[in-house]
Structure formats: structure tokens, C-alpha cells
Structure 1
Amino acid sequence: MSSQYLSKNYVEETKFGFWFLRSHTWQHHVLRVAINDLRSLFSEPLPVAPVLLDAGCGQGKSFKLLQQVFAPARLIGLDADPHSLALSREEAARQGLDVELIGSDCATLDVPDASVDLLFCHQTFHHLVEQHRALKEFYRVLKPGGYLLFAESTEAYIDTWVIRWLFRHPMHVQKSAEQYLEMLREQGFEFAAQNVSYPYLWWSRARDFGLLERWGLRQPPPVGQREETLVNCVARKPLASAPT
């Protein structure tokens, strides 16, 4: 691993993966869809003028969408890759957005306690080796009553031949949808069934990206009878939370 990264456990992405994170497909079929879905999972009104932290902001393609949907008073982007942060800075300038950028590992967030209203973690968690430490940090930096916007691909998707061929992930930490949700519960986050979704998108279909279903050669499995490849959750830190 190159010493340039700000995490001792950083798993370097492939060249294809780095390119994909600035593609039209990523921005419009992955990021945009996930942000809109997370917005729909709130049970209560959104925080007004929140402090919003994008943990694992990558190349900053989320910034404009987050600004449009959540109207943050402060938008903070955090990543452990200095090159990605440089591209995030360029993206913020191109969009005319004021974004604070922090170089930090998610397992040791360089962010004060109880300072964030919304923490957006989109397709980042499955890249993290120290997942439990990162989740504890997410909980720490959120204000009581603050929300974790969690959107992840599961092991059923990450551990397919095409994804393993095109991208690079720490395979020993991959989890199912229910295992990720149980991690959130164990950390102390609160959510109900209406705060969780299991998107079944064309790009997330294991094995064939849904081609056989689109060609009418196979019926899509019903909810409850398929191994979920995506899980989205809006989880709240309790208003009266115990110290972590």
C-alpha cells in the first residue's frame, strides 16, 4: 500500500474503479438514486440547515446532490485519499459550493464530538477494514438526534466474480444486509422498518446485472426470497444517548 493514504488499512482501488467513480453511471444511477431513496426513508422532518458530513466523499460527485436535497449550512467532505480530496476540491469549485475538506480515516475521524446533524456514508463502509471503529466514530461525531444515512452493497454483490475482477475490496469484512443493520443496532442507532429499504437496481443484480430479467428469460425473485445486494438505512442517534 502506498504511504500517501491517511489510513494504515486503506485498500487501494483499481484504475477502473477510480474511473467509475466519476462516470455518468455512478453519478446518476448510483449516487442520485441512493440520495433520493435515503431522503424518502426519514420518518420526521429533515433538520433545518444541518451540518452534513460526507464520510468517504471520494471525488466529490455527491456534493451537488447533497446540497440540493438536504440544504446544509455546512457541508464537509472527508476521505483518506489525498488524490481524491484534490479532485473533490476541484468538483466543489466547479459546482460553486463551499465544502470543507478533511483528510482523515473513518476509524479515527478528525471531527469534534456531537458536531454533525447528518452523516452520509454511501458505498464507503464495505471499503473499511475497521468497520466497528468507524461506526463508533460516526456515532461519536453525530449530535444527539442526528442521523446516519447509510447506503451499502452487501457481500452477495461484492463477492461476485465481475465485481472482484473490476474492483478491489477487503473481502474478509463484507456482510449481509441484516449483519450491517445489526451493527447499527449494536452501536446504539435507532431505526424502524420504514427507515430501511432494499433497492433492487439493475446494476446491483448479482451475476448478470439483471439482463436475463430484462430479456424476459427469468422472473425477478420476490422480496424475502432473494439475497439482498443493497441496503439503505436512515438511523438516528438517540436524543439521550449514553457515552460510547
Structure 2
Amino acid sequence: MSNPSFHKEYLSKNYVEETRFGFWFLRSHTWQHHVLRVAINDLRSLFSDPLPVAPVLLDAGCGQGRSFQYLHQVFAPQRLIGLDADPHSLDLSRDEATRQGLAIELIGSDCATLKVADASVDILFCHQTFHHLVEQQRALAEFFRVLKPGGYLLFAESTEAYIDTWVIRWLFRHPMHVQKSAGEYLAMIREQGFEFGPQNVSYPYLWWSRSTDFGLLERWGLRRPKPAGEREETLVNVVARKPLAGVGQ
């Protein structure tokens, strides 16, 4: 199920190539409407302070550009930058920006070595990208570096409890040795120097993230949904801020 037809060299030595199904799914209505749109709206709700006005916004791991219209609608950036290590995805991102009539700056780069200047970004959006990255610590340090003091990391991830299910392992491809729980991701972000409180974190329990049956048994009334605290979280969203004083650098 690999993707050998594109024949373009990836811009990361640790790039884990997606399956054909995975690449198709990232262009689907389900991905755009039920995953991206929902995540961006949820992240918007987790801000404790007013949004930055006319921010510089970086989409780290922009894939095929399906996030661009939602990011533009919700955050009204003066600059919107899309970054990815897959040249073919960047080509599709360029096409998507053209279709949407949006001015997008595209950068081919590994998240662990961002080709972005220090303290130049107001909002860094990282959606369902981190579980693809092998060098997660380096990537998070890069996120911290490129954000301005007071800038925001918008982090939305699937956890090991979801990625390590048989159906996801069968349909998609991920570096399994770096997968983490929700708590481990949050600890990693805090240890890097980012600040956030409980009000800035959510654990979405969406139908597609149910780790065994995509929520079908609950939808049919054959199983009661587990409340928070009694389930192993499959998703975690957090809005984390780089301190104004630059603590953690």
C-alpha cells in the first residue's frame, strides 16, 4: 500500500511514507470536514486570551493544504505559511491555495530543522503531524524557536491508544516507536517551556477516534460511551503559549 508513483525525494531523512489509502484519505471530505474543521474550531475555543491580530501563522506539516481555508477564516492571518517535507504534497497545497484564492507561502522543510527565522511566527498550527515525526524533541524545540515570545502553539494529536490499533496500523503508516499518550505529549510540551492550563486542553471523543469500532456500537445504542477519566484518551488538543520572557530557551 505504499506510494511509489510520485517519485519525488522527501525533504527529511526520517520521512515515513504514507500508504496510498492514507494519501487519498487526506484529500477526502471526511478528513476536511470531520477532522480538520472540527480540530481548528476546538483549538479556537481553547484560547484564554484574545486572538493575535493579523498574525503570522505557520502550518507545520500542512500536507495537501486542506487546512488553509479554515485557518484563514478563523485566524485571519496577514501571512499564512505552509510547510511540509513531501514535495508532492506541497504541489497539491499550491493547487489548493489557488482554488481557494489564498496567498500562501510554501516551504519545503523537515519539522526538526525548520527553514523559518527565529521569533517570526505568532501562531504555529501542528495538526495530526507530530505522530508522523521521528525527531519529536527536535521538532518541538524548533516550534519554540520560531514562535515569538507570547506566540501560540496549536497542537492537535492522535495518541498511541489510537495509532496502535489494528485498523490504523493496517490502513496507515507511522513510526510506532515514538507514539505517546495524551499525558506524555502534554508533559513534553510543558518541558520544552510552553505554558498552558487545564482550560487550554481538550480531549475530543469523536466518532472516528474510537479505537475499536469508530463509535458504531455507541451510535446503535449497544454500548454506553465511557466518560472522561474512565477511558484512555485517543485525541488531545492544546493551545500552549511561549512565555513572554522566553523561558525555556
Secondary structure of 2:154's counterpart equals: strand
Partner in structure 2 of residue 9 of structure 1: 14
Which residue of 205, 209, 212 corresponds with 2:214? Answer: 209
Match of 2:231 among 226, 233, 244: 226
- Identify which range, 210-219 or 139-148, moves more after superposition: 210-219
- Out of 49, 54, 57, the position equivalent to 1:49 is 54
For residue 3 of structure 1, report the CA deviation from its aligned partner.
7.0
TM-score of the aligned structures, taking structure 2 as reference length = 0.97
The question of 1:160 aligning with 2:165 is answered yes
Q: Could you tell me the TM-score, scaled by structure 1's length? A: 0.99
Quick one: distance in 2 between partners of 1:213 and 1:99? Answer: 41
Deviation per residue, 1:83-126 (Å, 9 max, x gap): 00000000000100000000000000000000000000000000
Quote the offset at 1:21 in angstroms. 0.2
Provide the residue aligned with 2:187 in structure 1.
182
Give, in whole Å, the separation in 2 of the partners of 1:222 and 1:153. 18
Residue 242 of structure 1 and its aligned partner are, at CA, apart by: 3.4
Deviations 1:141-194 (A, max 9, x none): 000000000000000000000000000000000000000000000000000000
Change in CA separation of 1:209 and 1:145 when aligned onto 2, cut-off 3 Å: same
Contact 2:193 2:248 in 1 (8 A): no
The structure 2 residue matched to 1:124, chosen from 126, 129, 137, is: 129
Does residue 28 (structure 1) correspond to residue 29 (structure 2)? The answer is: no
Q: Secondary structure at the match of 1:184?
A: helix
1:243 CA drift (Å): 6.1
Check if 1:75 corresponds to 2:80.
Answer: yes
- Give me the whole-angstrom Cα distance separating, in 1, the residues matched to 2:68 and 2:246: 29
Code of the residue aligned with 2:123 in structure 1: it is: L
Q: Distance in 2 between matches of 1:36 and 1:114?
A: 25
SS in structure 2 opposite 1:53? strand
Give the aligned residue type for 1:103. Answer: G
1:59 aligns with 2:73: no
**Residue correspondences, number:** 244
**Structure 1 segments of 4+ aligned residues over 2 angstroms from their partners:** none
Q: Aligned-pair distance for 1:25?
A: 0.1
Aligned sequence identity (%): 84
Q: Is the 8 A contact 2:194 2:242 kept in 1?
A: yes
Write the deviation string for residues 1-51 of structure 1: whole angstroms up to 9, x where unpaired.
977000000000000000000100000000000000000000000000000
What residue in structure 2 maps to residue 136 of structure 1? 141
Listed one character per residue, the Cα deviations across residues 34-90 of structure 1 (whole Å, up to 9, x for unaligned) are 000000000000000000000000000000000000000000000000000000000
> Bigger CA drift: 187-196 or 212-221?
212-221
Corresponding letter in the other structure for 1:203: W
RMSD of aligned C-alpha atoms?
Answer: 1.0
Residue segments in structure 2 that go unaligned for 5+ positions in a row: none
Uncovered stretches (5+) of structure 1, i.e. residues with no partner: none
The equivalent residue for 1:107 is 112
Aligned partner of 2:197 in structure 1 is: 192
